[in-house]
Structure 1
């Protein structure tokens, strides 16, 4: 009996092994067929789940499903052939982020790409429009590299596809297919994938011309670290008031929108004024400053069908329009309308630095104000028009008409379309108070209290200050506006 059982177990084991071998062979044959046929992959985005790993299928033709290697060109007469078996991921040639139609015949795609591979090889990028009604139409993509000198593994690239005629505009739908390949493909095959799919009847020409759903979109840099919920609360309440109701704020979460920050933003999300995009998974790719350039470009291209103007600045910067001294006081809407009439594509505005620890106090008895720590930052911090002993940084931020630029950067766009026009705003017309280092910490800000408009000496070694109370005077208005829009909110430092 025991001998019979051993025979049966052995027979079952052989059958199990044979079954596994048959499955591996079938997988390998399918892979070889797909590579050799050059057929569009069934794993193209939107058609199938992510590519599975084929365990056990390692030979001279391919190592993984992700990067099939063509070994047929190896010269066997030149010594022993050594095979390299990769584990894990070294770098990707191209990482999709987002693709957008810009008009009847123009598309743009934001991708991350390996700078090292692009520097080692000539990479060719191709766009193809595929539909069921017409033959495929192919053009070369124009690559734009806004952050190529930033010294990280992955760089941002905007691929512009301009077809010689309108595509997908007569209700037939179609697909935008991108190909990234090597000019001299020896071992690697081109990467080909569907970047954008339009269903039949989806194209609508009115989306690419005004009026747009919003007047303004805000595109912020990715938020990361232990950000103060209270500072975010103050920023969004102020700018929701400053920009007006037809504004959409788009925030990028690289780990900084933790539970308490999200709690602050949730009421604004509920009324349609804020969108949050979770890009924490992008942190596995080594890009500049939490993929700042990548996400700003993606947000800008998304805004092309959303708003007339897009603003780029940070959550420790507050826009302000100084009083004009005239009966007519300009608003941000009137300023932008004037620039649009004058054919201005981009406006630049200057930062003025505000101390991160110097607060105004009207009397010597600081302790007379027990709730100083619960004041909003912009109602107690001092505009740093002071003698620092060095020249303040006069960096600029900006706004663009997104339909009139190809790609963008952190401090300005250097890729405007042919009719693009740039204008520097005077600091007396539009400025940004920069409350540096106030959002990325959760401690009390005030460390010193100058006691007069001339600024008495203090341990921060800042003297001869001219105090500016412009922002502080707006605090009651902003608090009332917040209460009316989203109700009473908690103070969470």
Structure 2
């Protein structure tokens, strides 16, 4: 069998001679054609071994593609151009004084993180300002960046043409930052500047202190604030505040439930009263249906909505929530007596025999007080006589099972008198003057429905009609406090804004 295969696949010497003889005895035209083909095949093989520049000539010599193909090539070239290639610097030999030493160079490309990203700056008094922004976290971990504050008056005079003071930096996120960390720069000058209404500019010089190389010190001049002549309202810094209570929340993001937002805002406008205001920061969570829930409260003056979606470009901790709360603190510090910090899945509560005003009045000697948490199940719902009616109830009516596990630390939220605070956090502030107290048990608390705001579906996963229950090893008991408040909140909402939100969905 092997011999037969060889006879089938291998051309004998005699056969080759016959093939060559046949070709050579062909007519002249056929011989010319075959010779041309042989030349072309040899040339193509030669080009495969040639440099790329020669291969480019073969592409140039080929026939042009059809117009549609040209369009496709043009589009591809436009959308996927090759990156710009930086020329690598060559190593150079130093001068003869250090002959033989090779000086190496490093070619830096792009930008790992900005030195400073300015969000806002506010006057805090006749001689002091607060500048709020982001800065490179590694820069603050491994270097010692400094800040110099400069006030440039609108009208230059010989006496005040160069007013400077060192900037005191505060890092309120306690190291939680990611690529960026939050920086609050306090600029306090030795005497009042621009308080007479003449106007001026606040410039902050941010130095990176060499970024680890003490021989290199690069500074960026940041024009943080501009006051036009006559623009400052000195009375605002000393007059009684417009509001008794102001809410500052972390930025909203994700696909939030309109119904849960509806419950939260209606409950707290009723809870804090007519001298309250709510500042909502939108980091992408205020989609059109949530905006429709907030719209009637915006129209009657209870809610201010701020779009901060641009901050999502900068990788900070938890959608830069420390940045947002500090902006809110300094933007509204003179507009309210008390400022509350908590989230939209948390509901503040005081006992029925007191009001929020009696509680805050009793704590007026403190700059800050913290609020204890009551953790509610976000899955267990109370089953009453009509099971079908459960799904039409508000979340605070049916999510009534409270976590009673002992020996664990639960997060607290807090309230401050903002005129005494220099920077703030999410769960408490550490930069203020005055006293703080944590002894508020029995006076004020907050009910936490974790995760219910971020899911657009029915929260009930299990219906229970007992006073005690276990879920995943956690003990729960019925706490109907918020359930009992729901009917009053519904009546209040109808009185304040009418039936516009009656058809709100999950």
Normalising by the smaller structure, the TM-score range is 0.7 to 0.9
Q: Aligned partners of 2:341 and 2:242: how far apart in 1?
A: 19
Which has the higher mean CA deviation after the structures are superposed, 427-436 or 483-492? Answer: 483-492
The offset of 1:381, in angstroms, is 0.8
Q: Aligned partners of 1:188 and 1:421: how far apart in 2?
A: 40
Number of residues of Structure 1 aligned to a counterpart in Structure 2:
405
Aligned to 2:485: 474
Q: Work out whether 1:435 is the aligned partner of 2:449.
A: yes
Q: Work out whether 1:84 is the aligned partner of 2:107.
A: yes
Q: Work out whether 1:138 is the aligned partner of 2:161.
A: no
Aligned to 1:147: 173
Q: Aligned partners of 1:220 and 1:75: how far apart in 2?
A: 59
Structure 1 residue ranges (4+ consecutive) displaced by more than 3 angstroms after TM superposition: 74-83, 182-189, 390-393, 457-463
Q: Aligned partners of 1:460 and 1:85: how far apart in 2?
A: 53
Q: How big is each residue's C-alpha offset from its partner over 1:31-74, in whole Å with a ceiling of 9 and x where there is no partner?
A: xxxxxxxxxxxxxxxxxxxxxxxxx9x99xxxxxxxxxxxxxx9
Q: Aligned partners of 2:444 and 2:288: how far apart in 1?
A: 34
Assess, with a 3 A threshold, how the Cα gap between structure 1 residues 217 and 206 changes in structure 2: closer, same or farther.
Answer: same
Q: Which has the larger radius of gyration?
A: 2
Aligned to 1:46: none
Q: How big is each residue's C-alpha offset from its partner over 1:240-299, in whole Å with a ceiling of 9 and x where there is no partner?
A: 100111111111111111121111111111112111221211111110110011111111
Assess, with a 3 A threshold, how the Cα gap between structure 1 residues 75 and 164 changes in structure 2: closer, same or farther.
Answer: farther
How does 1:304-319 map onto structure 2 within 5 Å?
304-319=333-348
Aligned to 2:128: 106
Aligned to 2:137: 115
Q: TM-score, normalised by structure 2?
A: 0.75
The equivalent position to 2:148 in structure 1, one of 122, 126, 132, is: 126
Assess, with a 3 A threshold, how the Cα gap between structure 1 residues 458 and 149 changes in structure 2: closer, same or farther.
Answer: closer
Q: Aligned partners of 1:392 and 1:260: how far apart in 2?
A: 37
Aligned to 1:376: 394
Structure 2 segments unaligned to the other structure (5+ residues): 1-83, 96-100
Q: Aligned partners of 2:226 and 2:297: how far apart in 1?
A: 31
- Superposed CA RMSD in Å reads 2.4
8 Å CA contact 1:385–1:467 kept in 2: the answer is: no
Aligned to 1:70: none
Assess, with a 3 A threshold, how the Cα gap between structure 1 residues 100 and 429 changes in structure 2: closer, same or farther.
Answer: same
Q: Work out whether 1:345 is the aligned partner of 2:376.
A: no
The offset of 1:426, in angstroms, is 2.8
Q: TM-score, normalised by structure 1?
A: 0.77
Query: For 1:299, what is the secondary structure of its paired residue?
Result: helix
Query: For 1:356, what is the secondary structure of its paired residue?
Result: coil
Aligned to 1:408: 424
The equivalent position to 2:359 in structure 1, one of 335, 346, 353, is: 335
8 Å CA contact 2:93–2:103 kept in 1: the answer is: no
Q: Aligned partners of 1:467 and 1:320: how far apart in 2?
A: 16
Which has the higher mean CA deviation after the structures are superposed, 251-260 or 95-104? Answer: 251-260
Query: For 2:448, what is the secondary structure of its paired residue?
Result: strand
Q: Work out whether 1:165 is the aligned partner of 2:191.
A: yes
Q: Aligned partners of 2:485 and 2:402: how far apart in 1?
A: 18
Assess, with a 3 A threshold, how the Cα gap between structure 1 residues 303 and 93 changes in structure 2: closer, same or farther.
Answer: same
How does 1:28-39 map onto structure 2 within 5 Å?
none
The offset of 1:79, in angstroms, is 3.8
8 Å CA contact 1:129–1:175 kept in 2: the answer is: yes
Aligned to 1:27: none
Q: Aligned partners of 1:459 and 1:415: how far apart in 2?
A: 40
Q: How big is each residue's C-alpha offset from its partner over 1:376-423, in whole Å with a ceiling of 9 and x where there is no partner?
A: 11111114154x5x6454211000011101111111111112xx1112
Aligned to 2:269: 240
Query: For 2:376, what is the secondary structure of its paired residue?
Result: strand
Q: Work out whether 1:486 is the aligned partner of 2:497.
A: yes
Structure holding more helix per residue: 2
Q: Aligned partners of 1:440 and 1:116: how far apart in 2?
A: 32
Query: For 2:462, what is the secondary structure of its paired residue?
Result: coil
